[in-house]
Structure 1
Amino acid sequence: MKRLFFIILAVLLAGCLPSTENDPNVTSSLPEKKEKRLPKKFNKQSQPPEALKLTSVLYELAAASDPENFAKEHNIFLSKERVRVYISFNPGSSISKREKVLENYNIVVEKKAGNLSRALVPINRLIPLSKESVIWSIKLPDRLIKPRK
């Protein structure tokens, strides 16, 4: 019974304490929000415009003056100036429109299932391909991470 009395008393006292919300002399014990910053290797110019549906690394690869060296530095698979990517298509687009885009951009499809295709795309065609309305996104395949020993 005493325990309940002290709990109720504590709640009542806490409600009666003056608020320090607008008091300039009282500092908050909460940490201030820090501004989100991009990693050092990326800056605003190296990120693709929103209209493009490429990941930032693919955009950098396409914009690089030496794509082969960039691919080697970032462990990106290249085959005859083509990069292996996953292309997500707009689910509302017709198969004929998808095939026409793949043909127009000289893309070699390795596998496809539903709205997703794994393909080899010429590096110099990545940016124009990403502007097509039938494309939702273009990204690199995920890499396996070696387990720690």
Structure 2
Amino acid sequence: MTRAWILPILLVLCGAAVATGLAFGGKPGSAAALLLVFVLLAGVHSPLVFPRSISALEAQRRSAVDGRPVVYWRSGCKYCLRLRVRLGRSARQLHWVDIWRDPAGAEAVRAANEGNETVPTVFVAGRPHVNPDPAWVREQLLPSA
């Protein structure tokens, strides 16, 4: 199991424990609602919310061919989640690299951020942009006129 799944699993386990206590306390409706909230939080913080990650080398290769930005991210990062949600369907057009799954991706982020793994780091035309505005990232997907 990778560390990307630790937070979602902990959220589900904690939700199940609290919901069990509420259910045995005679509040099954509250238990079900609370468990649903914990499961939704786990889903939002899981890698499932993001498009399928590829390796940094593959993302760089694809970006060189199609000119699309490369997004380096990690699960549990609220700024990565913000970028993903605000991009909506446009997010599928980007190349996503999970730095917790790809050491080369983590190294690229550290090289761009003075040794820190600050994400999201978006590479556009080979230049890094740390935690850029989602509207700006969407603009980078538009064909230049």
- What TM-score do the two structures reach when normalised by structure 1? 0.20
More helix per residue: 1 or 2?
2
More strand per residue: 1 or 2?
1
Structure index of larger Rg: 1
- What TM-score do the two structures reach when normalised by structure 2? 0.20
